[in-house]
């Protein structure tokens, strides 16, 4: 977050004016304002990622309960799976709505775009982890097969 503040401090002048054309409104802003919008997006993205991990990982109770309900039959599996799917969208929708509201309040659509970039800054880490898992798994399998061949 320090890097985001440094970029905002170096990129924006000490006082800058944002003109919102729809309302003909002018706002005098400081460099901490775009920083705040970006941080809101960053925190929102982390909340979404943590909740997604909770709802989709076998380590936590929602997936374990869904797996246990499969023993009772397909009807309970579909019903509980649909309910869990609906629940999994609740926190992300609320987080995105609150972030968009706050960012729009401070800087209009430009603030929303900065918050969206903050949310998307979590994406490279998630993609790297998702991409690294199968690669390391394949490497482990190749190493096991190499040991068998000797």
For the cut 70, the answer to whether the pLDDT of residue 27 exceeds it is no
What would the mean pLDDT of 140-144 be, rounded to a whole number?
A: 74
Name the strand (E) or helix (H) holding 41: helix 32-56
pTM value is: 0.73
Domain boundaries, the chain: 10-119
Whole-angstrom Cα distance, residue 124 to residue 66? 30
For the cut 70, the answer to whether the pLDDT of residue 117 exceeds it is yes
Whole-angstrom Cα distance, residue 34 to residue 9? 9
What would the mean pLDDT of 10-39 be, rounded to a whole number?
A: 72
Q: Where are the beta strands (DSSP E) in 10-150?
A: 16-20, 25-29
Written as six digits, the tokens of 74 are: 């397909």
- Encode pLDDT of 59-96 as tens digits: 899 889 988 888 888 888 899 989 998 999 999 999 99
Q: Is 84 left (phi over 0), alpha (psi -120 to 50) or beta?
A: alpha
Q: Please list, in sequence order, all residues whose beta carbon lies within 8 angstroms of the beta carbon of residue 12, skipping any fewer than 6 positions away.
A: 29, 30, 31, 34
Mean pLDDT, the chain, as a whole number?
A: 82
For the cut 70, the answer to whether the pLDDT of residue 28 exceeds it is no
Whole-angstrom Cα distance, residue 111 to residue 132? 33
Q: What is the pLDDT of residue 116?
A: 92
């Amino acid at each position: 977050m320090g890097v985001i503040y440094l970029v905002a401090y170096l990129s924006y002048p000490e006082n800058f004016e944002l003109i919102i054309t729809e309302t003909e409104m002018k706002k005098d802003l400081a460099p901490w304002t775009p920083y705040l919008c970006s941080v809101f997006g960053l925190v929102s993205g982390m909340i979404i990622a943590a909740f997604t991990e909770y709802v989709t990982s076998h380590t936590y109770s929602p997936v374990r309960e869904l797996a246990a309900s499969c023993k009772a039959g397909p009807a309970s599996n579909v019903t509980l799976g649909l309910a869990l799917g609906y629940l999994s969208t609740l926190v992300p929708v609320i987080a995105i709505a609150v972030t968009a509201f706050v960012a729009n309040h401070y800087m209009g659509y430009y603030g929303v775009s900065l918050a969206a970039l903050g949310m998307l800054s979590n994406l490279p880490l998630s993609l790297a982890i998702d991409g690294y898992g199968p690669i390391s798994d394949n490497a482990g399998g190749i190493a096991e097969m190499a040991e068998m061949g000797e």
